[in-house]
Amino acid sequence: MKLANKRFTTIPNDFCITFDQHAKIEEVQEAPDARIQGGGFNFTTLRQVAEAEQVHMIDLIAVVTEVQPMGSIQLKTTGENKDKRTITLCDDTGVSINATLWGAAASQELQVGDVLACKAARVSDYGGKSLNLGEGNEVNPVGEPRCQALMAWYRDRTSNGQVLETEKLTQAGEGGVNAAALPLVLVEEMTTHLLSDEQFLAGDSTPRYFKIAG
């Protein structure tokens, strides 16, 4: 049992349990009357993403406003090709952001106007702010109140052909970095972030900036 590092989890608990190589884990059959809740989201708004550190993982729900064609890149580490698709998300805080779907998630059927709930999206400082999404996503999640609210908000803003104006967190071609604004991280945290950065592993040459402690 130790204090949880909330940069690497979306679960709001203050403590976590870790296991070493000597741990023995056995499956226990669930009792017929057991009621353990799972799969829940702890949503962050896109405006809050503007303040999130690049090593953070977040849950979010937002409207899809653009879907780019699926492509693929060759991974630098293995030489294998990996599918990717970039989409744009916005929510009712008036903020939009680019998000990249990787692997099997890139094949997910998405249309403009869909609401996408994302589990454990990784925040990146690439192009200002952007997101990397894995497979923990739900399209138009049934029974989620935020989904209905976002659909109604988007229809209200676009029903008469209006252009949806948003504050863009992802800026194409943005350069430079504000060193004072960088989060202070340990070397281990920097390594973990880089190993989970699909664009970096694929050979993207855009600089990543860190302020190292220790």
pLDDT tens, 178-190?
A: 444 455 667 777 7
92, 113 contact by CB (below 8 A): no
Within 129-207, strands assigned E span 130-133, 137-139, 167-168, 184-186
58, 44 contact by CB (below 8 A): yes
Can you say how many angstroms the Cα of residue 204 is from the centroid of all Cα atoms in its chain?
A: 19
147-156 mean pLDDT: 94
Yes or no: domain 2-18+40-174 corresponds to CATH 3.50.30.30: no
Distance CA 69, CA 73 (A): 13
- pTM over cut 0.75: no
In this model, does residue 212 exceed pLDDT 50? yes
Distance CA 10, CA 93 (A): 20
Which tokens hold the place of 114?
Answer: 């869909």
88 band by pLDDT with thresholds 50, 70 and 90: very high
153-177 mean pLDDT: 79
Q: Tell me how long the chain is.
A: 214
